[in-house]
Amino acid sequence: MDEDEPMDEETAARGAPVRLLLLSDTHVPLRARRLPDEVLREAERADVVVHAGDWVDAATLDLLEGRARRLIGVYGNNDGPDLRARLPEVARVRLGGLRWGVLHETGPARGREARCAELYPDLDVLVFGHSHIPWDTEAPGGLRLLNPGSPTDRRRQPYCTYMTCTPADGVLGEVALHRLPRR
């Protein structure tokens, strides 16, 4: 769903709990040969898998499309024409009674909250990637910013990571950051 499409009306009407798996920066097969088994198990349990770009390989998109009940994804700066043809740059959707946005890059960490609050005043939650650094903050006005890190490339972080959450009735509730075992 691209930036100009309306929110999903069916999901918008429901405030029922929705189990989400948040991913970004999988970089398969450049940083890892495949997604970790734990992430694949979470994808099968989730109602919705959200991926904030830098897939690198269309096979990973195909894999998650085959395992997820529903997949919301965007392309990142390392994604080529094949992925860009299949995915939007920005996705917007209503889940658990909240207005969500997904994109890959938000710019520098300094000033991120204010910048995103200004750019996305119509959202409750913004999921992003790019840095591989987990992020969970709230911007002025209440916009929640979430970066799940990377499940395959920890860069300067101590662990590879992903996030889960279960929004319901317009409340995000607990967002859990999951650390994957070092390989």
**Average pLDDT for 121-142:** 96
**Average pLDDT for 152-167:** 94
Indicate whether 27 pLDDT > 50.
yes
Token pair, residue 56, equals: 């690198």
Indicate whether 150 pLDDT > 60.
yes
Residues 148, 6: Cα–Cα separation, whole Å = 25
Percent of the chain with pLDDT over 90: 83
Q: Which residues neighbour 46 within 8 Å (Cβ) at sequence distance 6 or greater?
A: 19, 20, 21, 68, 69, 164
Complete domains list, the chain, with CATH? 9-180 (3.60.21.10)
pLDDT, tens digit, for every residue of 34-63?
A: 999 999 999 999 999 999 999 999 999 999
Beta strand pairing status for 160-165 and 135-138? Answer: unpaired
pLDDT, tens digit, for every residue of 53-108?
A: 999 999 999 999 999 999 999 999 999 999 999 999 999 999 999 999 999 999 99
User: Which comes out higher in pLDDT, residue 14 or 92?
Assistant: 92
Q: Are 73 and 91 in contact (CB under 8 A)?
A: yes
**Average pLDDT for 109-134:** 97
Indicate whether 12 pLDDT > 90.
no
Give the largest CA-CA distance in the chain: 43
Q: Are 78 and 131 in contact (CB under 8 A)?
A: no
